[in-house]
Structure 1
Amino acid sequence: MSWALKPFGDIASLKNGKSIKPGLSGEFPVYGANGIIGGANEWVYESSLILGRVGAYCGAVELCEGRFWPSDNTIVVQAVEDSVTLKFLYYLLKHADLNRYAGGAAQPLLTQSRLKPIEFLLPPLAVQSQIAAILSAYDDLIENNTRRIEILEEMARRLYEEWFVQFRFPGHEGVGLKESELGLIPEGWELLRLGDCMELAYGKALKAQDRVPGDYPVYGSSGVVGSHCESLVEGPGIVVGRKGNVGSVFWSDVSFFPIDTTYYVRSEVPFSYVYFNLQRQRFLNNDAAVPGLNREQAYALPFLLPDQDVLSRFSSEWERIYGLLRRLERINVNLRAQRDLLLPKLISGEIDVSDIPMPT
């Protein structure tokens, strides 16, 4: 059997999602246009695709193989079993750039009437399953590495808490405790002010239209918001949210460009310690209209400075953990690049699926 062109409406059923209040909790995930937005105690569909129907995430594609509730910002897509497999349809739609079929004057809007006539080239079901298996293998490896990265991040966080919150650092048995503003702290450690130990330097304005895509991440108070051909700060470095997401803390392993809604850190204290310390600080919002972090108020916060030996040991442990984490991130970058290179060629039939080995 050869490949054949078929309208979207012939290979899948399309149904609009149902209204539900976002942010609730429950056994079943609630999907909005940008993914999971909460939970629900009831479910409406299972084993389906979810398309972003309206707004910035119009045309985004999610796969849910369990039971779920789709919000009214979505369209639910269910595969017609004798025409297309669900996993193949998922990759087919991911490649289709559905946003280009959107209408709407004020904001992008996808409708069933616009989607159903779109024609897709489909191979036989057996070939669909082979293609989906190869692409899924890449996604499974990426997901597994992502879980391992999360475990390593949690290990580093718990190590910080054990050493610098619970004071069970190497050799703590032989160190006495003394009174301080924060309570008992180890002898030989200093309780200073945050401003004594670091500078929160202002980021620099860089509007989206002025950015030239490049190798350097651009940080706003919500994290990475783009890239640029030039950096402002040499990495590794720490970014702190100044406007918007007040007190958010991000680590950049590479040189980066922090925009004017952020601060970046200058300090002689090891960044590995500063990073976790800042995450535990209680930064205050100083502006009722637009959330803002006042630098002088931040500088007045207490900052516990351990002795140099403990800091050096922690930095060594951090480097060991973070080295493994970086390696997994690099592997994921390569896996995504390979998958994204293969996807259009497999989906279009440009290359024979039998010629592609499974990723390892």
Structure 2
Amino acid sequence: MSWDTIQLGEFLTLKRGYDLPSSQREDGNVPVVSSSGITGYHNAAKVKGPGVVTGRYGTLGEVFFLREDFWPLNTALYVQDFKGNDPRFSAYFLKTVLNGTSSDKAAVPGVNRNDLHARKVTVTQDPIQQKRIASILSAYDDLIENNRRRIALLEQAARLLYREWFVHLRFPGHEHVAIKDGVPDGWERGTITDIGLVVTGKTPSKKKDSYYGDDVPFIKTPDMHGNTLVIKTEESLSNEGANTQSNKTLSPRSILVSCIGTVGVVSFNCSEAQTNQQINAIVPADESLRYWTFFMARDLKPLLEGMGGGATMANVNKSKFSSIKVTIPSSLILDQFNSHVLRSIDQIEVLAKANLRLAQARDLLLPRLMNGEVTV
């Protein structure tokens, strides 16, 4: 392979994105891209695809490749000029270059792109080599994206079934069920506590390093975003740390609900786990309640925001959360719903775990391809 040591600015040009408050966005299909990826859509684009976007704040290294036209937000940097280099290769290369780079936004207004442009990098500018490397790595990402689409379809089908049965009340046999005081016969009014045990998480002391390790997943709200099941966590506890608060340990597929800060994010834990104090978990008293509870909890977001004092820094404590009123369907309907949805959730877990393995394999290969250790 032919590799050259040059300044990053000789390979590509980065530019800050553009401001676009949510209040000014119009319905459309143009991706709006922030430092954390696609965060919405708009009816107009600022940049022609294909494009590459990365963040300006915090720990950098998250890089997003877009095939279509897009709008990069001002919290991000995008590649303004690829200087003849392959866009997809450039995305992978930038991910390698930025890995571990950090910016303290409290101290400075984001990473300085001029500093990045001045950074010395070693890279191939051979278009054939670039396309070969991009082809190998994109095969992993294409599989991941395909699995994500399958997950989205499975989630949508389960969500639509929930709404059909429990919101529109068109469950099997509904024609023959009487409605009394607005509730189908056999259904009961209650509260969250009638569903099962409510467990509010807790963070073990940070003063003891031995409390943290690789034994028990420690789930926080960011681990839940966009995930039906939490497969991977940023942090884990040691068995010693978890045992100091064993009453906080959750059995697999408990229903996790964020109740402080960004409220109303709902996920299952994939394995036995603990959470921090921002999460209230519901451990269903009966298996038939599990999947109905999950989708019911997702519909609580507007209520939780109102109870917590707003959408930005809401706070719904265990007492408030436990007292939320719910209408619990009959066990017959719950069992039927479980039998339909269980297969979908199981398949989502299989696909999510496959994506984790694919991402890990890609990330192991990425630096070796980019430094020429693995030749193509």
Q: Normalising by structure 1, report the TM-score.
A: 0.83
Aligned to 1:63: 65
Aligned to 1:14: 14
Aligned to 1:229: 237
Look up the equivalent residue of 1:188 and give its one-letter code: G
- Deviation, 1:8, is 1.8
Q: Does the Cα contact within 8 Å between 1:157 and 1:276 map onto a contact in 2? A: yes
The counterpart of 1:258, out of the listed 265, 272, 275, is 275
- Deviation, 1:146, is 0.3
The counterpart of 1:321, out of the listed 335, 338, 344, is 344
In 2, Cα distance between the equivalents of 1:104 and 1:200?
A: 37
Aligned to 1:356: none
- Describe how 1:200-239 pairs up with structure 2 within 5 A: 200-206=198-204, 212-214=212-214, 216-221=216-221, 223-224=223-224, 226-230=234-238, 232-239=249-256
Unaligned runs of 5+ in 2: 225-232, 243-248
The answer to whether 1:80 aligns with 2:83 is yes
Aligned to 1:158: 160
- Deviation, 1:92, is 0.7
Which range moves more in the overlay, 342-351 or 113-122? 113-122
Aligned to 1:285: 307
CA RMSD of aligned residues (A): 3.0
In 2, Cα distance between the equivalents of 1:44 and 1:266?
A: 46
- Describe how 1:1-360 pairs up with structure 2 within 5 A: 2-21=2-21, 24-26=24-26, 27=28, 28-46=30-48, 47-53=50-56, 55-56=57-58, 58=60, 60-77=62-79, 78-81=81-84, 84-97=85-98, 100=101, 106-107=107-108, 109-122=111-124, 124-173=126-175, 175-180=176-181, 183-185=182-184, 187-206=185-204, 212-214=212-214, 216-221=216-221, 223-224=223-224, 226-230=234-238, 232-269=249-286, 270-281=289-300, 282-283=303-304, 284-287=306-309, 291-353=314-376
Q: Does the Cα contact within 8 Å between 1:34 and 1:57 map onto a contact in 2? A: no
- Deviation, 1:129, is 0.4
- Deviation, 1:103, is 8.4
In 2, Cα distance between the equivalents of 1:218 and 1:255?
A: 10
Judged with a 3 Å threshold, the aligned counterparts in structure 2 of structure 1 residues 179 and 140 are, in CA distance, closer, same or farther, namely: same
Judged with a 3 Å threshold, the aligned counterparts in structure 2 of structure 1 residues 94 and 158 are, in CA distance, closer, same or farther, namely: same
C-alpha distance after superposition, 1:102-132 (max 9, x if no partner)? 6888145232244234222215211110110
- Deviation, 1:19, is 4.1
Look up the equivalent residue of 2:252 and give its one-letter code: G
Quick one: percent identity of the two aligned structures? Answer: 28
Q: Does the Cα contact within 8 Å between 1:222 and 1:241 map onto a contact in 2? A: no
Unaligned runs of 5+ in 1: 354-360
Judged with a 3 Å threshold, the aligned counterparts in structure 2 of structure 1 residues 91 and 188 are, in CA distance, closer, same or farther, namely: same
Over alpha carbons, which structure has the higher Rg?
A: 1
Equivalences, count:
346
- Deviation, 1:100, is 3.0
In 1, Cα distance between the equivalents of 2:294 and 2:104?
A: 45
Judged with a 3 Å threshold, the aligned counterparts in structure 2 of structure 1 residues 109 and 323 are, in CA distance, closer, same or farther, namely: same
